Amino acid sequence: MFLLFMAARLWLFGGLKPGDKAVGFALLSVDSSMVSLSDYLDQKGLILVFTNVPCPFSKAYEQRIIDLHNTYANLGFPVVAINSNNPDMSPQDSFEHMQLRARKMAYPFPYLKDSTEEVCRAYGATRTPQIFLLERSGNGFTVAYLGAIDDNSLDARSVSNRYLENAIRALTLGERPEPATTRAIGCLLKIKDR
């Protein structure tokens, strides 16, 4: 009930912002296990990425997301990917298609299905890919950075500003990310009432 209340309130006011407490979740992973935010309380933070299967922007960032996990998981910032797209509106985002994609690309991180769309609404995610960098805070997490991974969705070799990596670096130095928010570039989430 609390998650529904938070989702409704945050949806009206644009979602989470830097400094806000992260909303908990428990979602089904493509390996058929349940994964929750509380599973990561032993980490320094979490790279939460809203993504999907068919979006060309998600595909363009796919290897970068894998590389981010491989680089930062051992430093306490693993990746967790969430697909919130409604399969009635985007058939390629069915659970089965998610499983196929995760196997094909050998995802080293959990890929979760937000089948009720409550998590994307609670966070205020609107695009794929969209990042919420969470920082461990007491017995939970707060949002430290949100937005884009970097400044070039078309060509990883031409990136000049690595927003997410800079934000992680700031946190490891005990500083606040600057900028703490950027505009996510990508496909609109395909969810009900949007």
What do you get for the CA distance between the two ends of the chain, in Å?
A: 22
> Can you give the pLDDT at residue 59?
96
At 11 the pLDDT is: 39
Give the integer Cα–Cα distance in Å for 180 and 143. Answer: 9
Question: Quick one: pLDDT at residue 192?
Answer: 87
Please give the pLDDT value at position 109. Answer: 98
Q: For residue 28, list its beta bridge partners.
A: 34, 113
Residues (pLDDT < 50) of the chain are 1-13, 194
Q: Are 83 and 189 in contact (CB under 8 A)?
A: no
